[in-house]
Amino acid sequence: MRNAYHEQMAELNGILGHMSELAGVAMERATQALLQADLAVAESVISDHEQIVRLSAQAEEQAFALLALQAPVAGDLRAIVSGFQIVADVDRMGALALHVAKVARRRHPSKALPEEVNGYFAEMGRLAVQMALSAREVLNSQEPTDALRLQSDDDAMDDLHRHLFTVLMDRDWKHGVAAAVDVTLLGRYYERFADHAVLIGRRVVFQSTGKTPEQFVEAQPH
């Protein structure tokens, strides 16, 4: 019975890890579409999103099966409930990449971004992809220390997001309200993508240790 539970839990985390990887790929390509005004790439991100939707349904079915068939208690139940929460987080990451691609499509053949913010979004895209891949790794490894490292990448994302606003608020901004709205929304999409990756890390800490990240850090030898 215990072997069956562990096998099914590993399978669930494997599905979630694959979803996280796909969300990272989607954000990488959505960023490419955004920076290059590439309609074909934007369209492919939008059409490929269905794969994440299917995996999300599959992951939920797997989690429900664990609840129904394994009669989990205590730590097992904690891990399964966290699994449901992670499904929602990864699903949202995929949706945020989809939003970026849709902005690129809506503004085509023009570029959605003024030239002076391209560097910010290129780096935010790189960080988002890195965090999605890190989330995949910790879902597979269930290593709490690695899961906590997602927070440092999120700090870098937050710094970029703050600096982006200094550009928008500059009196020399000459691109109008529509471009400012696009930049504001897009920056928020990347920031939220990173936030969900951090939440996955926090949930993995709870899954694997039964402690919140703060409790886990406090319990470590100093």
Residue ranges making up the domain that contains 197: 2-215
Number of structural domains the chain divides into:
1
> If you average pLDDT over residues 26-43, what whole number do you get?
98
pLDDT of 57-88, one tens digit each?
999 999 998 888 767 777 788 888 899 999 99
> What does pTM read for this prediction?
0.95
Nearest CA-CA partner of 9 in 57, 77, 56: 77
Q: What pLDDT score was predicted for residue 69? A: 77
CATH of the domain at 155: 1.20.58.220
pLDDT for 73: 76
Q: What is the DSSP annotation of the chain? A: -HHHHHHHHHHHHHHHHHHHHHHHHHHHHHHHHHHHT-HHHHHHHHHHHHHHHHHHHHHHHHHHHHHHHH---HHHHHHHHHHHHHHHHHHHHHHHHHHHHHHHHHHTTS-SS-GGGHHHHHHHHHHHHHHHHHHHHHHHH--HHHHHTHHHHHHHHHHHHHHHHHHHH-TT--SHHHHHHHHHHHHHHHHHHHHHHHHHHHHHHHHHHSS-HHHHHHHS--
Encode pLDDT of 96-117 as tens digits. 999 999 999 999 999 999 999 9
Of 68-72, 89-93, 137-141, give the lowest mean pLDDT range. 68-72
Query: Average pLDDT, whole number, for the chain?
Result: 93
pLDDT-based confidence at 220, cuts 50/70/90?
confident
Q: Average pLDDT, stretch 33-56?
A: 97
Q: How confident is the model at residue 213 (pLDDT cuts 50, 70, 90)?
A: very high
Domain annotation covers residue 220: no
**What pLDDT shows up at residue 57?**
96
